[in-house]
Amino acid sequence: MAYLKVSGTKIVDQNGKEVILRGAGLGGWMNMENFISGYPGCEFQIRAALADVVGKEKSEFFFDKFLEYFFTDADAAFFKSLGLNCIRLPFNYRHFEDDMNPRVLKPEGFKHLDRVIELCAKHGIYTILDLHTAPGGQNTDWHADAGTHIANFWNHKDFQDRIVWLWEELAKHYVNNTWIAGYNPLNEPTDPYQTRIIDVYDRLYETIRKIDPHHALFFDGNTFASDFSKFGDVHKNWENVAYSIHDYSVFGFPAAPEPYTSTETQLHRLRRSYEKKRQWMDERGLCVWNGEWGPVYARKEYEGEKTDAINEERYRVLKDQLSIYNKDRLSWSIWLYKDIGFQGMVYVSRETPYMTLFKDFLAKKHRLAIDAWGADDSQVRDVYQPLVDLIKREVKPEHQNLYPAPVWKLTDRIGRLARNILVSEFLVREWAEHFAGKSEQELDEIAKSFHFESCLHRDGLNKILTDNATLVAQGD
C-alpha cells in the first residue's frame, strides 16, 4: 500500500485515482473537551483536580482507562460499517511532553495513538493526525487547553519551537505508516496579526519534510480555520499540501437567527459561508478539506417535547450542507464521533455509571451555560446583560469588536470570559469530588461508560452520513 498524496485539487492514491475522505473527528479522546465528556473548564484543570482528590496513581489509572474504552475495535468496526473511511485524531501536546520538562519525549504518549491508528488500519480506515492543543494555546478557546482567552502561542517563540520539535518526533515515528492519510499540524489557529501563522507553517513544513517527504499536510486557515485571505502565494513553497476549512453553520446551533426551513435565502447563506472560506484555494486550484463541521442536537432532559422537532431541523441543515459538499466532491470530517449526547454519532447512555454519577452536575452546567459550544444562556442571560450594557455604554463602538471578531461577537467574548473561564473554574473541584473514595474497580466502571457497548447511536445522523458517503463513492 502506498501513501495518499495531494495532486491539484484532489487527494489521490499511487495510481492517481481520486480518494475522497469521508469521516469524523475523534474529539474528546486524546484532547478532552468539556461539552464532550461533561467536565467544566479545561482538561489540564480537571486532571490536576482529580489527582488532588483521589491521588496521582488513581487519577492516572482513570484517565488511562478512559482513553482505552473511548475507542476500541468495536468502534472501528461500527465506523467502517457506515461506509466512512477516515478518522481525524485530535491530540493534546501534553501527552508527549510536560510543560515543566519541555522537549523531553514521553514515549507513553504513543500508546493509545498507535493503538487506534492500528485498529483503524485493520478495518480499512485512514487516519489524520491533528495537533489540537499547542503550548500556550494556539487559539482563544477552551479546546486549546490553556485556561485563557489569550492565544499566547503566537507571543512566545519557545512555544512555537516546541511544536516544531514535537512534529519532528511525530514524523520520525509515523513516517512509514501508509494508513495515515496525513498530518494536520495545528488546529484552528487564531493569529491576530495574520503573519506569524505563515512563519510557523513554513517551519513545520520544512521540519516535517526533512524527515517525512511522503505524508500529505493539512494546514488550517487562520481564525478557527476560516480565513486564508492573508496567505498570499505561500502555497508555491509547499508541495503535497491540502488546506483545511471548518464549515460550521449558525443554523445548526441554538443561537440560530431563525428556524431553518431550507429557504432560498438560507441555502444561499450556507453556500456563501462555505465558498468564502475556500475562496483562496479555489482561486489557485488548491485542494480543500473540510476538517470540522456539523450541527449540535437537542436533548430531552433539556429541550423536552421540542427535542424531536429541533433535531429534524438540524438534520435538514446537515443534508443541505452535504448536498453542497457532494457537488464539489469534498473530503470532510464531521465533528464528532462520540460524546455524552450533544453532537456525537454515538453517545454515552444516560444509564451508565458516569452519567448517573454526574446527572445533577450536568444539569447545573447546562443551566449556568458554562460550556461555550452550543450554549443556551437563557437561564442566566439576565445576570450577564448588565455587563454587556456597561461595555456598550462605556466603550467606544469602534473598540468593542476585538479579535477574533467577527467570529466572536461582543456577547460571545463576555460569555467566554465570564461564564466559560471564570464561573467554570469554580466548578472544577466539584467535578473532581464526585470521584472521592472510589476504588480502582469503581473508577474502571465509570471510565467504561464510554465503551461502545455502553453507547447509544444517533441513527438519524448516521443514516444521513452513510447515504451521502455512498452518493460520493458512486461518483468516483
Return the active site residues: 188, 292
Burial class (CB in 10 A: 0-12, 13-18, 19+), 147: middle
Angle among Cα 95, 100, 105 to the nearest 5 degrees reads: 40
Alpha-carbon distances, residue 207 vs 22, 231, 329 (angstroms): 28, 20, 31
Q: Give yes or no for a contact between 320 and 313, defined as CB atoms under 8 angstroms apart.
A: no
DSSP secondary structure letter of residue 233: T
Is residue 468 classed as helix, strand or coil in its secondary structure? helix
Q: Which three cell numbers stand for residue 225?
A: 480555520
The span from the CA of 127 to the CA of 189, in Å, is 21
How close are the terminal C-alpha atoms of the chain, in Å? Answer: 19
Neighbours of 236 (CB within 10 A): 8
**119 Cβ neighbours under 8 A, 6+ residues apart:** 71, 72, 73, 75, 76
Half-sphere exposure of 407 (CA within 13 A, CB side): 22
Which residues lie below 8 Å from residue 23, measured CB to CB, with a gap of 6+? 79, 84, 85, 86, 87, 88, 125, 126, 332, 333, 334
181 neighbors 126 (Cβ within 8 angstroms): yes
φ and ψ of 347, to 5 deg: -150, 150
